[in-house]
Chain A
């Protein structure tokens, strides 16, 4: 997807301006609330008219003030999943799902209702009303309803905000499955860095009414470590675990990580705070920690009293945060061999 945006919009005292051009399939719109993320979403969907500028999606001009073009929302073929789902309360789940599909020209209908109902596991809900559904079910239906319009792009506006942690991590795999299977470009709006890292590859950082910069999601995550009190969180992708005594051993690249958490999935994502990793110069004889990984030291950065060390464990990378004294005692330098020691309980399984 190629997106080309240059717009200005004044709403009362709030000024919004955005100018960017990007190519990608999983894009995040990241910024605090009130920064203008939702305004940009409304401008792109055609729910709000820019004062001036242009918006182009692939080879279609959606808005161009100079040429007098302003496609109405129903002609843009941009799907929107709102924060509060906004299901139609007077319709059953089935009618909600088919609302957009029935209005999609037959030539564009390349996604069939049965397929999305299966992927999002909605078959048992079809004949129900929408007023007694759980928050997670509502979001799944809202997404399915949007996917069925076979849009060129889906905008998701803080779809996970307001759901509790457990539900959030229950839904993310569904989202990933949908976007992988139906191959629809995604613009994901959120103020949560973790959600960004789980859902997107690139991010536009929005602040104070403008798009400030564009970067890879991982780059954004790494830049966040320098803020006081915030550490970098490693997100590790692990394979299917095997039981090992009372614990579980998960394949991670060439090595195995021992965790207390169980899983029966082939793909797992766990988080590991960079401050929870201990570094040893030599392999310790015995420790209470269950993971001792020989690593090679990569780049080292120091900001104030925090040192960020990149470690290479075979093909995998791990980021560790320590204090300057430790760095001096360990005589850390790029290319050194160290042992990273991690407790089995330090990992938190997300997906």
Chain B
């Protein structure tokens, strides 16, 4: 018997797909929300902040259930999407949404800290040099918070790789469709004689996480050198 089953490879690939898509989709949104939290003077900022941070303190299973209520066939969004023949629950999209929601607060938190540490005088200087507010944001503030954005993406990616509770409720545990590494491990441990295979996947999980950390370290260094 080999080290990994063919279905394990599916799970690994799926985990990667989910984590990458969730992180890439959430990043622009995360930058936008962090910008609102740091620079805007909109009313209800603390409520927005609370909503963004909620997934951090809620049990993932609760988030999964809330998402199910929202995206289910009779949910507010689900019922509307069904008209376009789009189904979220028990699909890859569902797994991505679950990961994105759970990892989002980590992303926003990191980007926000980065933006707050950017000296506002650099932005002022840019404005007096002829840059409009958006121009100054994209050429000064965002590049100067680049490391924080990267750190947030890394955190979120790692969190997505490990996401379990919300995913299993919203997307289920369907091999080849929504079964990511943690879900596969769960299935192995709950079936007799699956210990060894669960351990192999754990090892893969450790290696993957380590690779992510190394890659983010290298990327952050190259940002420094610029």
Taking Cβ atoms with an 8 Å cutoff, the residues of A that contact B are 45-47, 72-74, 78-80, 82, 84, 86-90, 99-100, 103-104, 145-146, 149
- A88-B140, A89-B144, A90-B144 as given contacts; A103 in contact with B131, CB under 8 Å: yes
B121-129, B156-164, B181-189, B190-198: which one contacts chain A?
B121-129
User: Can you sample 6 A-B contacts with CB below 8 Å?
Assistant: A73-B128, A78-B128, A84-B121, A86-B124, A88-B125, A103-B129
| CA A88 to CA B131, docked complex, whole Å | 13
A72, A78, A79, A99: the one contacting B126 at CB < 8 Å is A99
| CA A47 to CA B119, docked complex, whole Å | 15
Q: How far is the CB of B39 from chain A (nearest CB, A)?
A: 15
List the 7 closest A-B pairs by CB distance, nearest first.
Answer: A100-B129, A103-B130, A73-B127, A86-B125, A80-B128, A86-B121, A74-B130
Secondary structure type dominating chain A contacts = loop
Taking Cβ atoms with an 8 Å cutoff, the residues of B that contact A are 119, 121-122, 124-133, 135, 139-140, 143-144, 146, 226
- A86-B121, A88-B122 as given contacts; A146 in contact with B129, CB under 8 Å: yes
- A86-B119, A90-B144 as given contacts; A103 in contact with B125, CB under 8 Å: no
Are B129 and A145 in touch, CB under 8 angstroms?
yes
- A84-B121, A90-B143, A90-B144 as given contacts; A149 in contact with B127, CB under 8 Å: no
**B143 / chain A contacts, CB cutoff of 8 Å:** 90
Secondary structure type dominating chain B contacts = helix
**A149 / chain B contacts, CB cutoff of 8 Å:** 129-130
Q: Which residue of B lies closest to A105 (CB)?
A: B130
Q: Which residue of A lies closest to B223 (CB)?
A: A90
Q: How far is the CB of A234 from chain B (nearest CB, A)?
A: 37
Are A79 and B128 in touch, CB under 8 angstroms?
yes
Q: How far is the CB of B204 from chain A (nearest CB, A)?
A: 37
Q: Which residue of B lies closest to A95 (CB)?
A: B139
Q: Which residue of B lies closest to A48 (CB)?
A: B124
Are A45 and B132 in touch, CB under 8 angstroms?
no
**A89 / chain B contacts, CB cutoff of 8 Å:** 122, 144
Given contacts A89-B144, A100-B129, A103-B130, 17 further A-B contacts (CB under 8 A): A45-B128, A46-B128, A47-B128, A72-B127, A73-B127, A73-B128, A74-B131, A74-B132, A79-B129, A80-B125, A82-B125, A87-B125, A88-B140, A99-B129, A99-B131, A149-B129, A149-B130
**B144 / chain A contacts, CB cutoff of 8 Å:** 89-90
**A146 / chain B contacts, CB cutoff of 8 Å:** 128-129
Q: How far is the CB of A290 from chain B (nearest CB, A)?
A: 49
Are B121 and A72 in touch, CB under 8 angstroms?
no
| CA A99 to CA B140, docked complex, whole Å | 11
**A87 / chain B contacts, CB cutoff of 8 Å:** 125
Q: Which residue of B lies closest to A80 (CB)?
A: B128
Q: Which of A74, A87, A89, A103 has the most CB of B within 10 A?
A: A74
**A90 / chain B contacts, CB cutoff of 8 Å:** 143-144, 146, 226
- A86-B119, A90-B226 as given contacts; A74 in contact with B127, CB under 8 Å: yes
| CA A45 to CA B121, docked complex, whole Å | 13
| CA A103 to CA B128, docked complex, whole Å | 11
| CA A11 to CA B107, docked complex, whole Å | 35
Q: How far is the CB of A287 from chain B (nearest CB, A)?
A: 55
Q: How far is the CB of B215 from chain A (nearest CB, A)?
A: 21
**A88 / chain B contacts, CB cutoff of 8 Å:** 122, 125-126, 140
**A84 / chain B contacts, CB cutoff of 8 Å:** 121
**B140 / chain A contacts, CB cutoff of 8 Å:** 88
Q: How far is the CB of B118 from chain A (nearest CB, A)?
A: 10
Are A82 and B126 in touch, CB under 8 angstroms?
no
Q: How far is the CB of A55 from chain B (nearest CB, A)?
A: 15
